[in-house]
Amino acid sequence: MAAYNYRKNKAIIYLSLFFFSVSTYSLIHYLLFNLHSKILIALFFSANIGFITYLPGLMLYFYTRSLLTDSSKLKRVDILHFIPIILIFISGIPNSFSTWESKLHIATEIINNNRVFISFYNQSTHGLVSFLAIFFSRPIYVFIYFVWSVIIVIKHWCKRKQVHILHHQKFMYSWLSTLFCVFFILIISHTILLNGYYFSDQASITTSFNTIQLIAFISLIGLLFSPFLFPSILYGLPQIKEITCIGQYEPGNSPLNDDTETHDQKEGKSEVERKERILEEAYLMSIHQLVESVMKNDQPFLDPDFNMAMLAVLIKIPVHHLTYYFKEFKNQTISDFRNYWRIEHAKKIIMEGKGENLTLEAIAKLSGFSSRNTFLVAFKKNEGITPKDFLNRNKDI
């Protein structure tokens, strides 16, 4: 998720780290209480990855904040959020230097009686951080950031009339609410389960919450795969902050207007909603004008590495806004859009008579294509004929 989508919306990095940390937490839980593998438990102690279990709440907060502020940038003060995690990592370093035999011995004892883990942890940290401190600090730390995330969403929702969210992304409020509900159930059920494992003998309660946690975790897996089924989740919450039009904008000129206005009339939209749609249309039209101007005047498509991130820098528009623009306004992928301009440039070369002394490969390179085959396929797709046929037709004319 992060590798393929962070360039479109960097907030996805936080969402990916959230799912990764929750998955790691679940794996550690499974290793300690269900798998009963001495080698894997010993490897867990060697790896010192327990600090990752503190990340879910923080990553959820960063993701939520990025969506609501429409900016994924971290501030210098954000380093303070990581101090508890760093301290937990440092406290676990001594475990990595113990012998493999001692780790296997401890793993065997934990399998026989998981409460041995309490005394082992207190001894291994030499009193630096007690097990009780770790046990209570983890859910508290995660829960604080969970509550913080909920609060900023509620505040944002109360001010939603002053914040112009692009229309098709308003479902993100429902997505966040679902994510919060599932994560809340996971936090509570997991805390109660751990309390049962270490401090309580109430097997019936443990079994009940184990089932609840399983349901919550399955739901979380569903949420993990939902961005692949509904890619709009990856766009975040693009917000209209400023409209900078190159020319005079008139409602009715954009491809969105006719369908949108008809839909508004059918559904009986309010005056406020109608104005919001017009504002969104104006914003997307302003992006359209900026994009067309840059492509025409600067010709960035001639760079073989040209992509959406480069275009975003040129027109000073966030990448996820551009992603939304191409989907909702252009109904076109960045690849097809880029190829259109490259092919138009190639046609210009041919029609000016320069193509007679150039090979197709040379024309492709001059037009920004990385290879001759890519050029041929794209040209045939856009023009319906091959570049060679187009060249011959131009000779006849």
pLDDT tens digits, residue range 26-70? 887 777 777 778 888 788 777 778 888 899 999 999 999 999 998
Are 272 and 264 in contact by the 8 Å Cβ rule? The answer is no
Q: 182 is written with which tokens?
A: 């599932």
Task: Give me the pLDDT at residue 79, please.
Answer: 93
Residue ranges in the chain modelled with pLDDT below 70: 114-135, 196-209, 241-270, 272, 355, 395-397
Contact yes or no for 186/22 (Cβ under 8 A): yes
Cα-Cα end-to-end distance for the chain: 51
Q: What pLDDT is attached to residue 241? A: 67
Q: What is the dihedral of CA 275, 277, 283, 286, to 10 degrees?
A: -100
In DSSP terms, 165 is beta-bridged to 239
Contact 196, 206 (CB under 8 A): yes
Q: Residue 339 is encoded by which pair of tokens?
A: 């190829």
Instruction: Phi first, then psi: give them for residue 115, nearest 5 degrees.
Output: -75, -10
Q: Rounded to whole angstroms, how far apart are CA atoms 172 and 9?
A: 14
What pLDDT, on the 0 to 100 scale, is given for residue 72?
Answer: 86
pLDDT at 82: 93
pLDDT, tens digit (0-9, with 9 covering 90-100), for 192-203:
777 766 666 555
Angle at 322 between CA 296 and CA 158, to 5 degrees: 145
- Hey, what amino acid is at 171? F
Q: Directed axis angle between helix 372-383 and helix 334-351, to 10°?
A: 90
DSSP track, 67-102? HHHT--PPPGGGGGGGHHHHHHHHHTHHHHTS-HHH
Q: Is residue 153 within 8 Å of residue 147, measured between CB atoms?
A: no
Helices (H), the chain: 2-5, 11-30, 38-47, 55-69, 83-91, 93-96, 100-112, 116-124, 131-158, 172-198, 203-229, 257-267, 271-297, 308-315, 319-324, 334-351, 360-366, 372-383, 387-396
pLDDT value at residue 255: 46
| CB distance 163 to 155 below 8 Å | no
Whether domain 336-396 has CATH 3.30.710.10 = no
Angle between helices 55-69 and 172-198 (to 10 degrees): 170
Output the pLDDT for position 247. 43
Residue 154 burial (C-beta neighbours within 10 Å; 0-12, 13-18, 19+): exposed
Predicted local distance difference test score (pLDDT) of residue 298: 94
So what's the pLDDT on residue 207?
A: 65
Domain boundaries, the chain: 2-235, 257-300+310-331, 336-396
* Residues in contact with 380: Cβ distance below 8 Å, sequence separation at least 6, in sequence order: 386
